[in-house]
């Protein structure tokens, strides 16, 4: 049976107090709506219909690369009205999952269970039992079967004692949606068209409404303000950390760990506090990541130790490297095995060969460094002439003295030595020494400039 996914994402999100539409607020560095779309795509639906409203152009632009049918809800007249807007593009066959752009964490497994439970009757929903149901629509049952949903503001005192609530997530036959949605009424306290009214319509048609509960409460938690967003972020990060630890990852403190993408890891990997993992990262056996590091789209091979407060972005690191503290690997930094990159060293678009070292205060950009070479403290490759980037090549077993500036394009040969404090503008032959300094000048009784009083 074909599946359609309908995502309600038209809310303004006034309580966010933000110029950014609510569904674009980030959770684990991904827009709320992005989480929903990612999960929906794993169901391989026939189409994804997203209802937009406030900030619609920003929302559409953020997901311009996705195959989405966009439907506008110009007036905010309730959830039933929002789904009514889809009728011109909604298929007449199959089932629709009705999701929300501000309820980001419903799992694929929960949606698959809902689809399975709903396929016979043609209608199902996710409910949840909570200690405090204040503000939520209550599930009205008779002999264990769902009869209707009553909104909190419309409920009487007895109905408000019910602890089973409506999450708003439904699975409904498209044929029934075409039948029921035009019949919705706004005769209620809010003066809105409630999507919940289709439940009573289904009962009137003699259908039994299937229901399931999610495995985790956070799957159906919505976001309306900054406090709820922060709480959901904490719940999600704790859940992810728990799953990784069950798989064998050593996280020193799961409450101070952030996964904002995906992580593959080997045996005996240890991650210290306040580490952020972004994008797709991979850590080999026995890798150690120190406190405060940020890894984004990075692959680190086995045995490498990363000292605290190092930042990696789109880097590839070999085995048994020693990196940090306070190192920075920028895009296309590729490090071979046994490399040392020390404190306040930055590597960008460069390849560093086996067992080479740059231990202090160095910038290596657009460079190729051979094996077992030593880059002294304060060395920089001057790769940018103000208009174009140029390459620096350093051979095997080279020694670059401290505070050297290598003005690209330039080649330093195998076994060559560059004297400290040199500005190298010409190629250096293999096994040779190059020193480029101006003559030292001494002036007796020199008077330094004084500040004007």
Q: Binding site for acetyl-CoA: what residues are annotated?
A: 377, 383-384, 402, 420, 437
d(C-alpha 271, C-alpha 238), whole Å = 15
Annotated binding site for UDP-N-acetyl-alpha-D-glucosamine: 8-11, 22, 73, 78-79, 100-102, 137, 151, 166, 224, 330, 348, 363, 374
Binding site residue list: 8-11, 22, 73, 78-79, 100-102, 137, 151, 166, 224, 330, 348, 363, 374, 377, 383-384, 402, 420, 437
Phi, psi of 161 (to 5 degrees): -85, -10
Which residue, 55, 50, 53, 101, is CA-closest to 74? 53
Q: Is 5 exposed, middle or buried (0-12, 13-18, 19+ CB in 10 A)?
A: buried
Residues near 386 by Cβ (< 8 Å), separated by ≥ 6? none
Q: Residues marked as binding for Mg(2+)?
A: 102, 224
Nearest-angstrom CA–CA distance, 234 and 242: 12
DSSP class of residue 428 equals B
Q: How far apart are CA 21 and CA 11, in angstroms?
A: 8
User: Could you tell me which residues come within 8 angstroms of residue 443 by beta carbon, excluding any fewer than 6 positions away?
Assistant: none
Distance CA 84, CA 148 (A): 20
Catalytic (active site) residue 360: yes
Report which DSSP code applies to 207. P
- Give burial (CB, 10 Å; 0-12/13-18/19+) of 182: exposed
Return d(Cα 345, Cα 329) in angstroms, integer: 8
Residue in 54, 163, 360, 390 annotated catalytic: 360
E strands, 324-404, are 328-329, 334-335, 340-348, 351-352, 357-365, 367-369, 374-375, 380-382, 392-394, 399-400
39 and 103 Cβ atoms separated by less than 8 Å? no
The whole-angstrom separation of Cα 185 and Cα 264 is: 51
Asked whether the bond before 409 is cis by omega within 30 degrees of 0, the reply is yes
Q: Give the separation between CA 242 and CA 145, rounded to whole angstroms.
A: 36
Strand bridging mode 257-265 / 210-212: unpaired
- Identify the helix (H) or strand (E) that includes residue 239: helix 226-246
User: Which residues have a catalytic role annotated?
Assistant: 360
């Amino acid at each position: 049976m074909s599946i359609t996914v309908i995502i309600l994402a038209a809310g303004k999100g006034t309580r966010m107090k933000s110029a950014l539409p609510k569904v674009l607020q980030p959770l684990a560095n991904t827009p709320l709506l992005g989480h929903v779309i990612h999960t929906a795509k794993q169901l391989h639906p026939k189409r994804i219909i997203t209802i937009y409203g406030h900030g619609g152009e920003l929302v559409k632009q953020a997901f311009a690369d996705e195959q989405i049918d966009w439907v506008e809800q110009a007036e905010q007249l309730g959830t039933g009205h929002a789904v009514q807007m889809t009728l011109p593009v909604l298929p007449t066959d199959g089932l629709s999952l009705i999701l929300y752009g501000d309820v980001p964490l419903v799992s694929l497994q929960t949606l698959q269970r809902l689809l399975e439970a709903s396929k016979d009757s043609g209608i199902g929903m996710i409910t949840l039992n909570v200690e405090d149901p204040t503000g939520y629509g209550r599930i009205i049952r008779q002999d264990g079967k769902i009869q209707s949903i009553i909104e909190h503001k419309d409920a009487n005192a007895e109905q408000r004692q019910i602890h089973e609530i409506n999450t708003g997530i439904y699975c409904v036959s498209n044929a029934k949606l075409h039948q029921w949605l035009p019949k919705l009424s706004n005769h209620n306290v809010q003066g809105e068209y409630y999507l919940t009214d289709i439940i009573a319509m289904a009962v009137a048609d003699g259908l039994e409404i299937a229901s399931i509960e999610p495995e985790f409460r956070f799957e159906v938690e919505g976001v309306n303000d900054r406090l709820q967003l922060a709480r959901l972020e904490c719940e999600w990060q704790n859940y992810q950390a728990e799953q990784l630890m069950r798989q064998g990852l050593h996280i020193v403190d799961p409450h101070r760990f952030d996964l904002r993408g995906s992580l593959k890891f080997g045996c005996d990997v240890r991650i210290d506090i306040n580490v952020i993992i972004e994008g797709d990262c991979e850590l080999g056996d026995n890798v150690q990541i120190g406190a405060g590091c940020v890894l984004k789209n990075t692959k680190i091979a086995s045995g490498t130790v990363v000292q605290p407060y190092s930042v990696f972005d789109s880097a590839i690191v070999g085995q048994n490297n020693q990196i940090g503290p306070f190192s920075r690997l920028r895009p296309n930094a590729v490090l071979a095995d046994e490399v040392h990159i020390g404190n306040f060293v930055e590597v960008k678009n460069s390849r560093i060969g086996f067992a080479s070292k740059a231990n202090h205060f160095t910038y290596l950009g657009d460079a190729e460094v051979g094996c077992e070479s030593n880059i002294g403290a304060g060395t920089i490759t001057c790769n940018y002439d103000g208009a174009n980037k140029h390459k620096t090549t350093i051979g095997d077993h080279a020694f670059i003295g401290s505070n050297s500036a290598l003005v690209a394009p330039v080649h330093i040969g195998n076994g060559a030595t560059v004297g400290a404090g040199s500005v190298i503008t010409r190629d250096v032959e293999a096994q040779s020494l190059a020193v480029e300094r101006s003559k030292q000048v001494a002036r007796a009784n020199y008077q330094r400039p004084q500040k004007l009083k």
